[in-house]
A and B are shown apart, each in its own frame.
Chain A
Amino acid sequence: MATKNIMIVGVGGQGSLLASKLLGRLLVDEGYDVKVSEVHGMSQRGGSVVTYVRFGEKVYSPIIDEGEADFIVSFEKIEAARYIKDLKKGGTVIVNTQQIDPMPVIIGNAVYPDKVLDEMKDKGVNVDAIDALSLASEAGSAKACNIVLMGRLAKYFDIPYDKWETAIAKIVKPAFIEINKKAFDLGYNN
């Protein structure tokens, strides 16, 4: 198979690390060659962050470049738009509708572009918008947003549901398995 490319984008501190850990664990268990790449440090302090997940028979580059992503999973509404140039033609954007104002908006130097999801749809992008924050809260923790989004992503894959659940159990602390399984379910079934 051709290498599949998933980008996870969001705001530093939103928990993309756990999402990529889940994908990594699952895809290795499924027998794929996998590369996961992210940048630590300065960019994590509330800045825009991106994680690349690539899997297939043999993966070379750790990063995803313009026009290559099959999926962009965005933890925040406009972060999907920031990386849209990396989406493959016909690719899918899974986006949490949560709005987090960047500093230029906070201090009044810029306006939060409210209509970017509509613009994406107009340009032929498959936009799958989801209120992951509310669903995560419903599952029992606002922090489980990341797993809600993974649940939604799972709908697009042929990997059986129970394999995802097994991977979740492997990567989260025992006390949080149930919350995360519920969050995954809410993402998958809403």
Chain B
Amino acid sequence: MKELLIGNAALARGLYEAGCSVISSYPGTPSTEITEEFAKFNDVYCEWAPNEKVAAESAFGASLQGKRAACCMKHVGLNVAADPLFTMSYTGVNAGLVICVADDPGMHSSQNEQDSRHYAAAAKVPMLEPADSQEALDFAKIAFDISEKFDTPVFIKMCTRVAHSQSIVEKGERTEVCKEYVKNPRKYIMAPANAIARHPFVEERTAKLTEYAETSPVNRVEAGSGSYDFGIITSSTSYQYVKEVFGDSVTVLKLGMVNPLPVKLIKDFAAKVGKVYVIEELDPVIENFCKTIGVDVIGKDKFSILGEFSQKTIANAFGMEEKENVTLETDIPVRPPMMCAGCPHRGMYYVLAKNKITVLGDIGCYTLGSMPPLNALDMTLCMGASVSGIHGFNKAGGSETEGKTVCVIGDSTFMHSGVTGLINIAYNQSNSTVIILDNSITGMTGHQQNPTTGYNIKGDPAGKVDLEALCRSVGIRSVRVVDPYNLEECEKVVKEELAKNEPSVIISRRPCVLLKYVKPKKPLRVNPEKCRGCKRCMKFGCPAISFRDGHAVIDNTLCIGCGVCAGLCPFDAFESEGE
């Protein structure tokens, strides 16, 4: 049956059909659904690992044992998994091993715009790049075949528009694949003597993969029907934009494998079409390769290194007429994402902002605390950097910053890579206060379980890390738990912990209001007789409260009745229904 699937779901289906039996991943937009969808299949093992390095190594272990395995991550997650990646390239695999990585050109939900293709080249690992959902499904099978045939991990590179676009796929049947585990120290123990012996294998493998790329159907030339004096080399979603603009009129070399790149295929293509444009998002990876092998191409001179493309990008570059449209004179106010009404993070941020505390932040929903009106954050870098960062900040600042600085990190991010930073704080003793914003879920990526929630990816009971005990066990003596809906308590505890001359942890604990088991209360309403229009409640930045005709008003479709605003009002104007 034909079905409409997002690229990530199609990829999950392809991995399943290819006989993949184990997936270990850490969530990250736009990669998360690959693992979530795979978890829905029976008779396979699927898990959320604490971070991408653990996930990649777990998948490697499964491959070593003899089962086809995969791990999935967003582009920045690959930085975390880079350590095992580079050496897995040397060991190769037993059963097939696939690493799915999803880039985010345009940074819809990311802190940078890095191009994962560099990792494929640097680690000398082949990389397939599907352009729609059907290719995502098909390439998963090809990836496993390449992995076993050439003894290498294989990348499948997604991007936001392929990962999150639905297109039609035909499903197939699953094939079971099992390899025997045979002890092979020279292949799998990467101590210097063995690694030295493996390096030539890696180089020979790349040469063989290049041969494969020359003739593999994943790379194809589509002859154009028009009379253009140029041809286009492209891949991924850029291919779709090219086809949208040119249809079948222009000759295209559509690359499904972006590492290693085919030399002869590109040279022959260039010889046939004359002028060659390379249309690729982000860095000039294909372009630079072409230039290295002596093929003159036009790439980043015409197509930006920044952000996403679209059909308009292509049409504009080739001087085509713009489509007629309508524009308005009225300025439309921006609508940035924000913390939800009732979000537990808001209470803690309100307290920190009120006390003008320097706040080093981390990756998650709570990055939104940087937005007006709270403006509560000073720094956000990468997963875990808040905890490591505050240590350095306070070591450098001494008494100037200690007592006035905290860091904030979510429960999942703390598990990912915050705990190592905390160990550094405890070991090298900086007078730092770490606030764990524990909303009992991985929020921003859409509610994934993590080691602190007590449930696994299927929602079944699992091991549960006790955050308080963990922090104490690494050497933090002062560990406090507060309810972020209780602003008075939060303020008191933050001040007390900042005043102490030792490392401390505050766990700000209340579950995300979007969790199904969190039952909303009845919305509050503002008594216009009591509201004097002082706007103190507006400093809280709750999307359910707005100001109309001189008074605060509550949007009862958004308010979940958390009641924190009631405590902020000096005139008791916020009332629960029925009062």
Contacts and interface: CB of A to CB of B under 8 A. Distances in A.
10 contacts: A39-B109, A42-B109, A46-B335, A82-B335, A84-B325, A88-B324, A105-B546, A109-B372, A111-B333, A133-B557
A108 B330 contact: no
B373 interface: yes
Given A34-B166, A60-B240, A66-B312, A110 B333 contact: yes
B160 A39 contact: yes
A110 B165 CA distance: 34
Given A39-B109, A41-B29, A100-B555, A107 B337 contact: no
B332 interface: yes
B372 A107 contact: yes
A48 B372 CA distance: 16
B194 interface: no
Given A89-B326, A108-B547, A102 B29 contact: no
B137 interface: no
A78 interface: yes
A12 B543 CA distance: 12
B538 interface: yes
A75 B209 CA distance: 50
Interface of B: 2-4, 29-30, 32-33, 108-109, 132, 160-161, 164-168, 237, 240-241, 243-244, 310-312, 322-340, 365, 368, 371-373, 444-446, 535, 538, 541, 543, 545-547, 555, 557-558
A68 B315 CA distance: 13
Contact of B310 (A35, A41, A63, A103): A63
Contacts of B330: 81, 113, 115-116, 119
Interface stretch (A120-128, A151-159, A174-182): A120-128
A25 B3 CA distance: 8
Nearest to A20: B166
Instruction: Sort A-B residue pairs by CB-CB distance and give the 8 closest, nearest first.
Output: A67-B323, A41-B109, A41-B29, A47-B337, A62-B165, A67-B325, A110-B333, A102-B335
**Residue from A63, A68, A112 whose CB has the most chain B CB atoms within 10 Å:** A63
Contact of A39 (B164, B327, B372, B541): B164
A37 interface: yes
Interface of A: 11-13, 24-25, 28, 33-48, 59-63, 65-68, 78-79, 81-82, 84-89, 100-113, 115-116, 119-120, 123-125, 133, 142
Contact of A123 (B164, B310, B326, B372): B326
B333 A66 contact: no
A86 B164 contact: no
Contact of A41 (B2, B30, B323): B30
Contacts of A81: 328, 330, 332
A34 B167 contact: yes
Nearest to B243: A60
Contact of A68 (B323, B335, B368, B446): B323
Nearest to B1: A28
Contact of B108 (A35, A36, A41): A41
Given A35-B166, A41-B444, A46-B337, A103 B29 contact: no
A185 to B, nearest CB: 23
A44 B312 CA distance: 25
Contacts of B444: 41-42, 45
Contacts of B244: 60-61
B323 A88 contact: yes
A123 B325 CA distance: 10
B166 A103 contact: no
A45 B538 contact: no
Nearest to B324: A89
A34 B338 contact: no
**Residue from A115, A119, A133 whose CB has the most chain B CB atoms within 10 Å:** A119
Contact of A106 (B33, B168, B538, B557): B538
A125 to B, nearest CB: 6
Contacts of B32: 40
Given A37-B161, A106-B546, A107-B373, A12 B168 contact: no
Given A36-B165, A36-B166, A42-B337, A106 B547 contact: yes
Contacts of A105: 333, 546
